[in-house]
Amino acid sequence: MNIIGIDPGTESGAVVVWNIGERKIVLHDIKPNNDLLEWLRTQCDASAVACETIMSYGQRVGAETFETCFFIGRVMEICHHRGLAFYPLKRKDIILVHCASNKASDADVRAAMIAYVGQPGNKKTPGPTYGITSHEWSALAVATFRTAQEETDQKLADLRALREKPVLNDV
């Protein structure tokens, strides 16, 4: 099963298609918004789309922020018409799950994705994240968020279960 991760922008958006079962990147690209929307309408092979959303922090925003909001709305509409699940994700939630901090930078997100998916490698011996650049790292974090969150939740549940187990005392 594939999930699409989108890091939206005013004029272009980064997209990563992540195969959940095989834990690998199927496709990564930065596309002009209209091309990305057309690709979502006609060519993408996925069951869900996860998209970073805009959050209000009480600050003034400009026209570019609203353009990105409109783009996210168009992505939501396409998902609805195609029957794809749509997951709007807050950046603070994404970086909290992947980086264990709500103050993480883009460099921290890149490092977390390399730790989670694998080293880029080089042209001669490409690794699983070979060719990922700029906003594609954020799109990869968006695409892998739900899987990483489920894994983190399971680890926490396992730790809680261990803590609740009675300890046998030597007799």
pLDDT tens-digit series, residues 42-96? 988 899 999 999 887 788 888 888 999 999 999 999 999 999 999 999 999 999 9
pLDDT at 16: 97
In a domain, 133, yes or no: yes
- Residues 21, 146 contacting (CB under 8 angstroms): no
Report yes or no on 150 lying in a domain: yes
Q: Does residue 135 form part of some domain?
A: yes
Q: Quote the mean pLDDT of the chain.
A: 91
CATH number at residue 83: 3.30.420.10
142 occurs within a structural domain: yes
- Provide the residue range defining the domain that includes 68: 2-163
Is residue 168 included in any domain, yes or no?
no
Residue 12 belongs to some domain of the structure: yes
Q: How crowded is the C-beta side of 21, counted as CA atoms within 13 Å?
A: 4
Q: pLDDT, tens digit, for every residue of 89-123?
A: 999 999 999 998 888 999 999 999 999 999 999 99
Number of structural domains found in the chain = 1
Q: What is the pLDDT of residue 168?
A: 61
CB pairs under 8 A, 24+ apart, for 152-160?
Answer: 152/97
The residues, any chain, with a CB within 8 Å of residue 78's CB and separated by 6 or more, are 37, 40, 41, 84
Look at residue 158 in the predicted model and tell me its pLDDT.
83
**How would you classify the pairing of strands 48-52 and 2-7?**
parallel
